Structure 1
């Protein structure tokens, strides 16, 4: 894989000799942006070629007026629950290890990231791009960007951590703590920022329903399944045999979700295709700002590289599956907010690969004795 594959030195458990291990993304992860682009094309073609079929699917909701599209909800559960099965709550016993790294991650994720995204979205969509879109469109795009930033990354951050020689055990601690905090702060932050930066009113009852449907239920289900299967078959079987089986299911569910969203968005996309590029600009600004801030603070506090790199990656990436689900629940699958969260999926991989490259090339910024990965 050009520009990403690197030779990493790992310690052979049976020998102190260093051996080489080539780190690669799988074909889906490597070309996620390409698949998303194909889904855009497929969804738009389906939306224009079969409008009556698309309208029928759009009308299927989990309760009248809920905005929760039933087909998309099922697909999103198929994506989120396998990701939540990777969350190990027992990792919380290591929460006090290297507290500076965890502190920086939490501060950036919850006190900086959503607010900086709200600022950039408000600045660009209200003023910089204000002449190219209606106030209603601006409100929708602002809301979607805020929802995207309020959901810190979960499963994919393990991939990015792996590519930067991050401490896998500590990355798990960071992700687990973030998931638990999401239960408390996700809804209030979205409600406060969306209402404060746009003319939209977020129905708190629907927002809480989204939290229950797309965080509480998947997290509880994933935890119960994980606990039961590990107790019955062992952790090695669960992580090496069971979880990989969900890879194809998750991939297909994600791609079908994107096709559905873009089929619902077909008229909007064809009427203003340049809006996709406009939405990407504030997202890129806040992503690189937060990754740089996290990485810089980690260096200033002399946090080990193996903790600093995953921290920067968590600050840069998003739990886009949850963001898409929430935007659909609040504003509908054909809304500008849903489109904005999907643009986040479109830019995710190239942005994160660029952050990985920066981390790999700047590990010398950290003192030599702090470069090696610590013990879990």
Structure 2
């Protein structure tokens, strides 16, 4: 992890401050940016999201799906947590904390929007940053790659239906046209572009050519993320200043969701007898979020000024420190993990 990535939380905090300040100093600029949209999709934001997502998708080799059967226990656990538990547990936590316990302390008109943002955040599993977390836990790289490739393939067809279902259950009107457009714009098209570019680079210059492009694009991707935050908080600034507790309250269900889902994935892998080098990245993939997509979808569905957009940004704010804490827990508990009766024989086989 580069120094820039390691201190991402600090840069995010600085961008929040900058966005709020610019929102007060130049409100007309942000209104002009917000009005530049087609079919409810903001064009400047779409460009920034593509700059964030495509470099990450370039790392994904969908041919890695052939490795799925090798790690069937870890794959099964991660898929269960990512798609059958996480979105639904977040919907429950959002309703419990934002819709009930914290309701008196939040703007009444934004309650449903906050819950929608939390659901959107949880409905897409992380892609790029997972490779960093996996490396820090000495995770099995082939498992991580095949799991991310499989999740991306599932996300193309499952993200919109799951979000639509949960938003419907939360009594929030679902703008299906915009939701489907968001999936096409922020998942389908970037995946196609990334795979075409990846295949051409590998055919022409091999892995070295791809690595050079990724090295060039990575700073641009992070810069796009930070520019997105400045824009978001330029619109959200007045609300945040008026109610500084909003971010802290929104962070509560996100934190609980991360620790619950990572712990569940880790425990289920231990029970199933999967190796620790698979269980670690499985827990991290099971808990983390594709916040770039979440931010884009929330803006497309509810707008810059919405509580949904703010809720997804809170996910960005706490992503790095929270996931680093999960990495620490996974590493420190390796001895306990491998003492499990079902895991022990597998761990012994690694030393034969």
Match of 1:15 in 2: none
1:185 positional shift: 0.9
1:225 aligns with 2:197: yes
Match of 1:17 in 2: none
Match of 2:183 in 1: 211
1:59 aligns with 2:35: yes
1:256 aligns with 2:232: no
Match of 1:8 in 2: none
Q: C-alpha separation between the residues in 2 aligned to 1:373 and 1:58?
A: 58
Q: C-alpha separation between the residues in 2 aligned to 1:68 and 1:342?
A: 18
1:237 positional shift: 3.2
1:134 positional shift: 3.7
1:370 positional shift: 4.1
Aligned length: 345
Aligned to 1:98, the other structure's residue is in SS state: helix
Deviations 1:131-162 (A, max 9, x none): 11244311011000000000100000000000
Deviations 1:217-239 (A, max 9, x none): 00000001001110111124323
List aligned pairs for 1:94-173, cutoff 5 A.
94-173=67-146
**Cα distance, 1:163–1:283 mapped onto 2, change above 3 Å:** same
Q: C-alpha separation between the residues in 1 aligned to 2:208 and 2:344?
A: 33
1:183 aligns with 2:164: no
Aligned to 1:202, the other structure's residue is in SS state: coil
1:314 aligns with 2:285: yes
Partners of 1:306 and 1:371 within 8 A in 2: no
Aligned to 1:97, the other structure's residue is in SS state: helix
**Cα distance, 1:162–1:369 mapped onto 2, change above 3 Å:** farther
- Listed as ranges, the gaps of 5+ residues in structure 2 are none
Q: C-alpha separation between the residues in 1 aligned to 2:349 and 2:11?
A: 34
**Cα distance, 1:181–1:234 mapped onto 2, change above 3 Å:** same
Partners of 1:363 and 1:371 within 8 A in 2: no
Match of 1:269 in 2: 240
Match of 1:247 in 2: 218
Deviations 1:345-375 (A, max 9, x none): 001011000000011111112256645998x
Partners of 1:69 and 1:333 within 8 A in 2: no
Q: C-alpha separation between the residues in 2 aligned to 1:126 and 1:39?
A: 29
- Listed as ranges, the gaps of 5+ residues in structure 1 are 1-24
TM superposition score normalised by structure 1: 0.89
Deviations 1:25-58 (A, max 9, x none): 2112211111111011000000001111111111
1:333 aligns with 2:309: no
Match of 1:355 in 2: 326
1:33 aligns with 2:6: no
Q: C-alpha separation between the residues in 2 aligned to 1:331 and 1:370?
A: 48
Q: C-alpha separation between the residues in 2 aligned to 1:30 and 1:141?
A: 28
Q: C-alpha separation between the residues in 1 aligned to 2:68 and 2:273?
A: 18
Match of 1:238 in 2: 210
Instruction: Please identify runs of 4+ aligned residues in structure 1 that moved more than 3 A.
Output: 367-374
Q: C-alpha separation between the residues in 2 aligned to 1:295 and 1:55?
A: 45
TM superposition score normalised by structure 2: 0.95
Match of 1:296 in 2: 267
Structure that is richer in helix per residue: 2
Q: 122-131 or 206-215, which moves further after superposition?
A: 122-131
Q: C-alpha separation between the residues in 1 aligned to 2:118 and 2:348?
A: 36
Match of 1:13 in 2: none
Q: 205-214 or 127-136, which moves further after superposition?
A: 127-136
Q: C-alpha separation between the residues in 2 aligned to 1:171 and 1:372?
A: 22
Aligned to 1:265, the other structure's residue is in SS state: helix
